[in-house]
Amino acid sequence: MKLANQVAIVTGGGRGIGRSIALRFAAEGAAVTLAATGRDALEATAKDIRAASGRARVAVTDVADEAAVRQMVEGTVKEFGRLDILINNAGIAGPTKTIVEMDRAEWDRTLAINTTGAFLCAKHALPHMIRQKSGRIVNITSIAGRIGYALRSPYAVSKWGMIALTRSLALEVGGHGITVNAIAPGAVRGERIEAVVKARAEALGRKPEDIEREFFLDATALKRLIEPEEIAATALYFCTEEARNITGETLAVSAGFRL
**Which residues does the annotation mark as catalytic?**
155
Cα separation, 203 vs 7, whole angstroms:
42
Cα separation, 87 vs 146, whole angstroms:
20
Question: 220-254 as b/e, with b when 16 or more CB fall inside 10 Å?
Answer: beeeebbebebbbebbbbbbeeebeeebbbbbbbb
Specify whether the CB–CB gap between 128 and 82 falls below 8 A.
yes
Phi-psi region of 250 (alpha: psi -120 to 50; beta: other; left: phi over 0): beta
